[in-house]
Chains A and B, each alone.
Chain A
Amino acid sequence: MAEVLIADDSEFMRSLLREILEEHHEIVAEVENGVEAVEVYKERQPDLVMMDIVMPIRDGIEATDQIKSTDPGSRVIMCTSVGQEEKMKEAVRAGADGYITKPFQKPSVIEAIDDVVPA
């Protein structure tokens, strides 16, 4: 069971992810922007961050970059409606470990997590 931090400004999307994840994983916190994501990551050191890209205050790519800078061993899956090739490249440069586009199906989320978080 992995400890997961969900970072998404949409309460609706956080609740969808929570429903999918809580059967097999522990949700340690939910945050609404990139600044909170970095702060909560530092406090809780979860096994995985499910990170939206388009968020207020600080976007998910910047937040991923900061998390990866402070903890290169962190694991971040971008979980976003953005399906742009250039954004995917930016996410790679920021150190993201996976990328899921919304709207997603439960199996694709589980599969992405299994790929990134060791059993």
Chain B
Amino acid sequence: MYVDARLLGTFTELAHDGAEAATRSLTQLTGVEASVDVTKVSLVERDAVGSSLERGSFVGVQFGLEGGLSGRAVLAFEREGSEALVAGLLGGAADESMAQSGLSELGNIMMSGFIDGWADYLGTSIAHSPPTYVEAQGSDLFDAGPASADDQAFVFHSGLQCAAQEVTVAIYVLPDADSMAELLSTRSAESIAVEKLAAFNRMTREGAQTAAENVTLLSGVETEAEVARLSFMPIENVPEAFDDTTYIGTAVEFTGTPSGFLLVLFDERAAAAVAEALVPTAAGEGSLTADHNGAIEEIGNVITSGFVDGWANVLQRSVDHTPPRLVHDMGRALVDPLVAQLGQHQRHAFVVDSRMHTAEFAFEIGVHAFPDERELRAALSELDVDRADQTEADPTAFF
């Protein structure tokens, strides 16, 4: 199967329009003003499809899709916030059964709005099954189907943000592989073989694994790689994919094929814990010393190399990067200037995301790469899938 980048862009825009239609339905039915935060399509290992759902308690409405687009879909509502939607929908207190029924119907109408544009674009019909109400913790909300080894899947994701109430709503659509292949059957000079994208994802996961091992070695804080995904989205949507959490970390620009930017971001708790592990003096949240900042810079440097080196070694070329620059700001504020630079010559962006977590402390480290879209396509076209596991180089072979 090949992926045409322009076609993928079109489908991402369709998903965005669909999410806007679903949002209008939400507002009309509940009176809760909402907007579409982000829409993207990601290639991810099937068992990690729902991993972008924050940890927490969710209620959801699941659907099966048939026709021009077959697969699975789920609308996810944060459990706590969903009560405001139910209250708006039913005009006051409701028993559990009525609340579930109301939310299911809300989901039903929103999903219809979401898929109508797709059906019109494809010139066919898309049917969705009756809604199934579900309650689950985090990613368990999404039944992605049975996963086989190295089974990667495309998933469309739209995040909706409600204005006054703290309600987060997400729409996930997971097309069947055959359906996705049919959707993407048009090939052009910009097409990329899906196996190459999947291999790139595996390289990213390998990079995350190396980075996690290096964090453990440097800091003594046992760290594990959690998930790696390659997402594609309109360039203006990229900052929306980041929240307003304040992060400390490093930014580098890398040059070569591909060129781009890479951020290593620790939330403030993570930064303090890792910095204290490296430099044994106390650091409070948001008040790291110069020594701590230096340690964060170095660990960012090592993590960056863990990623970039893997790409360079598999692609058999060198990718240089600038010395790490310490950054400390809200997620969106950190991403904005990078996206502004990339946006000068591309409409859509590939975003490489990976997360690491520790068992010892409840925090995560995020690695986010923003390669130049055209250069990444060029690099992937040259990628030898059989070399994709050769991410590491051994100095003793040369010295």
Contacts and interface: CB of A to CB of B under 8 A. Distances in A.
Contacts of A86: 312, 316-318
B313 A84 contact: yes
A13 interface: yes
Contacts of B305: 80-83, 102
Given A54-B322, A54-B323, A89-B398, A81 B393 contact: no
A96 interface: yes
B298 A12 contact: yes
Contacts of A92: 398-399
Nearest to A32: B323
Contact of A9 (B217, B317, B323, B399): B323
Nearest to A98: B399
A80 B214 CA distance: 13
Q: Among A12, A59, A80, A90, which residue has the most Cβ atoms of chain B within 10 A?
A: A12
A92 B396 CA distance: 11
A12 B322 contact: no
Contacts, number: 84
A86 B398 CA distance: 11
Q: Among A86, A91, A105, which residue has the most Cβ atoms of chain B within 10 A?
A: A86
Interface residues of A, number: 31
A98 B305 CA distance: 19
A67 B172 CA distance: 57
A84 B302 contact: no
Contact of B323 (A55, A88, A89): A55
A22 interface: no
Contacts of A89: 398
Interface of B: 214, 217-218, 278-279, 291, 294-295, 297-298, 301-302, 304-306, 308-309, 312-313, 316-323, 392-393, 395, 397-399
